[in-house]
Structure 1
Amino acid sequence: MKSKKDIRTLLLEQLEGRNTHVAFDQAIQGLTFKQVGIRVEGIPHTIWELIEHIRIAQDDILEFCKNPDYEDLDWPDEYWPAESKPESKEAFEQSLQLVRDGINEMRELIMDPTNNLQRPFDHGDGQTLFREAMLIVDHNAYHIGQIVLIRRLLGSW
């Protein structure tokens, strides 16, 4: 059967995790504040570090898409949180919401018909909105998989 979905719809399906990958909200469902700061032996990051890394990288990608005066963050220091666990439950919940907000913001950019998905940004070196959206899809999927792995090792998946 031939798909009649346009490229924007297909891209949104990937962004929202509606195909083969676990979506962000699925990966964090039932996650407790205590669990996010546990460091599992042999795993380099806590769930908190992964959530914050997703948020920071996603925000950086969105900033690049919107800001012609964008300046790179310093890799790797500015892409990872300084602490292995959140300072409070509120900080944890805020970070979760900011990841969701970033996904929604990219969704809006993709769905805006005035945005040409394949036109290179005037700044950068050839990046397009399509490429940046796929970067979020790929990056998030990778780290969401790590969150699921840690949850499995903690016996909470």
Structure 2
Amino acid sequence: MVKKSVNALLLEQLNGGNAHVDFNQAVQGITYKQAGISVEGVPHTIWELIEHIRIAQDDILEFCKNPEYEEMEWPDEYWPESSSPNSEVELQASVEKVREGIDEMKSLIRNSEGELQKVFTHGEGQTLFREAMLIVDHNAYHIGQIVLVRRLLGSW
């Protein structure tokens, strides 16, 4: 067995699919109408979950890149205002932004030059490693919720 670097392992985790479905599998074939359906007893629609992943991921990336980062207000600024997208175009744009965010974090890791554990000059001790793992963990949690909602809707 070949020993992998921490960078390689992080990139693998961001790709997803090791222990569960990845983001692309979770949203494959979902329509904008399905994305906005509320399921009784479930707190969020698929749209809300996709948008929440996007918003949180964008915030994490902004923190990693911007020493002047300003914290968003929890929880209000981390969830969409609407429970459903206005169109298929809006849904697909959000899905694509999630994919782009994952790619951007992968790029930050590739360009980290072995400095994954270097503490950011801003924040409270966060490192690129920690922020990458936050994306992996956060996305996995909500991807599981998307799959659950899809199963409850009979679209999985």
TM superposition score normalised by structure 1: 0.96
Shift of 1:21: 2.3
- Output one character per residue of 1:10-63: Cα deviation in whole Å (capped at 9) or x when no partner: 111111103112110010111112110000000000000000000000000000
SS in 2 for 1:31: coil
2:57 aligned with 1:58? yes
2:124 aligned with 1:99? no
TM superposition score normalised by structure 2: 0.97
Aligned to 2:87: 88
Q: 2:31 touches 2:88 (CA, 8 Å); kept in 1?
A: no
Q: 1:109 touches 1:115 (CA, 8 Å); kept in 2?
A: no
Query: Distance in 2 between the 1:20 and 1:28 partners?
Result: 17
Query: Distance in 2 between the 1:16 and 1:155 partners?
Result: 26
SS in 2 for 1:34: helix
2:153 aligned with 1:123? no
Query: Distance in 2 between the 1:25 and 1:88 partners?
Result: 19
SS in 2 for 1:52: helix
Aligned to 1:18: 17
- RMSD over aligned CA atoms reads 1.0
Query: Distance in 1 between the 2:133 and 2:39 partners?
Result: 30
Query: Distance in 1 between the 2:80 and 2:112 partners?
Result: 35
SS in 2 for 1:145: helix
Q: How many residues end up aligned between the 2 structures?
A: 156
Alignment-mate amino acid for residue 97 of structure 2: L
Q: Which runs of 5+ in 2 are unaligned?
A: none
Query: Distance in 1 between the 2:18 and 2:133 partners?
Result: 14
| Amino-acid identity (%) | 69
Query: Distance in 1 between the 2:31 and 2:87 partners?
Result: 12
Query: Distance in 2 between the 1:35 and 1:141 partners?
Result: 21
Q: 1:49 touches 1:84 (CA, 8 Å); kept in 2?
A: yes
Q: Which runs of 5+ in 1 are unaligned?
A: none
Q: 1:55 touches 1:95 (CA, 8 Å); kept in 2?
A: yes
Q: Which moved more, 1:15-24 or 1:145-154?
A: 15-24
Q: Which runs of 4+ in 1 moved over 6 A?
A: none
Aligned to 1:6: 5
